[in-house]
Chains A and B, each alone.
Chain A
Amino acid sequence: MSKLLRRALKISIVPAILLIAGKFIGILCTSAIYNLNFQISNDLNGLFSVQIYFPDASTTLFVNSISNLVMVLFVALPLAYFIIKTTLYHTMAHNPRTIVKMTRFNMLKWITAKDTSFLTMFIWCAFLWIASGVTIAHTLQGSTYPWVGIVAGSVALIATLFTIKTFEIETDNIYPTEHKYY
C-alpha cells in the first residue's frame, strides 16, 4: 500500500468522527439547553432506520440549524488551527519579524512542520465541504435557517482559498519559481 494512501486513511478518521459527533452533540446540547422533548425511533424510510423526531416544525428547524452550525464549526475550527499554523510556519522561514513576534509570545516550540502538509489540509477541507454542502442543501430545502447556510458556505470558501494557498506553497517548495529562488 502506498504511503500517500496510508496517510490519507490515517488523516481521514478524525474529521469523519468529528463530523458525526458535531451533528449529534449539536442536537443533544440544543435539546438539553432549551429543554426540548425529542424521541429516537425507528423509521424504515431512510438508509438507516434510526430517526430523531421533534414534536413541531419550528423546533425541528431550530435544532437542525444549530446542529448543522455545530457540525460545521467542529470541522472548521481544527482546519483554522492548521491554516494558522501552516501560515506562520511558512512565513517564519522568510520573515524575521514573525520569528521575533513568535519568540515574544513564547510560541516557537509550537511552530513545527507537524500538521502543516497540504494532504492534511485538503482532507479536512474536503470534510468541511461535506458539512457545508449538507448545511446548504438543508437551507435550500427550508429545514435550516438561511444565515446558517450563508455562514457555512462562506467558511468553506475561505478555507478553500487558504488550502489552495498551502498547495501553492508546497508546489513552490518542489518547483521553485525563478524570481524567488534564483
Chain B
Amino acid sequence: MPSQKAQKFKKVLSLVVEPIALGVLALLFIIPTITVMNLSPITKKLQDLNILGVNTQSAVSVTLVGGKHDAIIEENLNKTADTSYEYSTQLAGNGTSSYSKPVLEIKNNTDKAQKVSFYGQTLNSIKSNIYLKLDNDNTNRKLQDDKGQTYSQEITIEPSSKVVVFLSVESLSSVNFAEEFDMQIKVVENL
C-alpha cells in the first residue's frame, strides 16, 4: 500500500514538475538571448563620473562652472586629450563696457603642484581686452588685447586644491556684436 501511494505521489509530482521543467528549458534559451541583445554596447557621450571601476579620475580635472550670464553665453567644454581641454563661448556684449563670469573650476587631484596653461582668442578682433582672473588673487592675466594680439598664460595650482577661473572682458568699443571665443587649456607639467 505505501509503495502504491508513493508511486501515485510520484506520478502527480511528475505531472506538476514537467511543465515547469519545460518552462525552465525555454527560459534557458530566452534569457541568454535577451541578455546578449541587451549587452550590446551603444553610443553615448560618457559622463566624467568618479565611480570605482567606471572611470579613473584625471590628475587635473577641469569642469564648467555654468550658470546664466547676459554677455557670456553658450559655454562649452570639451576634453580633447588626457591633459588638454577646449573651452568655447559666445561673447554677446549687450552694450556692457566690462563684464566678468566664473567659467571654469580646475581641481588638482594630485599631491604635487600642477601648472596649467591657457591660450584663448576670438575669431575676429572685437576691440576688447580679454583677461583671466582667479578667485584667489586679483591679478589680470591678459589673453587678448584690443588690437587682437594674443598672449599665453600659465597658472600654478597647489596640491589637492581647486581654483575658479573667471573670464573678464573689457570692451573699448561701443559697437557690440556676438563673437565666438575659444580657449585651449593644457596641463603643462607637475612641479
Contact = CB atoms under 8 A, between A and B. Distances in A.
Given A5-B22, A9-B28, A27 B39 contact: yes
Nearest to B15: A1
A20 B35 contact: yes
Given A5-B22, A48-B34, A55-B46, A20 B39 contact: yes
Contacts of A55: 43-46
B18 interface: yes
B32 A19 contact: yes
A96 to B, nearest CB: 41
A162 to B, nearest CB: 21
Contacts of A41: 44
Contact of A130 (B18, B29, B41): B29
Interface in A35-77: 37-41, 46-48, 50-57, 59-60, 63-64, 67, 71
Contacts of B46: 37-39, 53-55
B32 A20 contact: yes
16 contacts: A1-B14, A2-B18, A5-B21, A13-B28, A16-B31, A20-B32, A20-B35, A23-B39, A27-B41, A40-B54, A47-B34, A51-B38, A51-B41, A53-B44, A54-B46, A63-B41
A13 B29 CA distance: 9
Contacts of B43: 53-57, 59-60
Nearest to B14: A1
A134 interface: yes
Given A37-B46, A37-B55, A40-B54, A60 B28 contact: no
Closest 6 CB pairs of A and B: A53-B44, A52-B41, A19-B32, A12-B28, A60-B43, A48-B38
Interface string B1-29: 00000000000001001100110110011
A115 to B, nearest CB: 19
B29 A126 contact: yes
Nearest to B18: A1
B33 A130 contact: yes
B139 interface: no
Nearest to A13: B28
Nearest to A58: B43
Interface in A124-161: 126-127, 130-131, 134, 138, 143
A52 B49 CA distance: 14
Contacts of A138: 40
Contacts of B35: 20, 23, 48
B81 interface: no
B175 interface: no
Contact of A39 (B29, B34, B47): B47
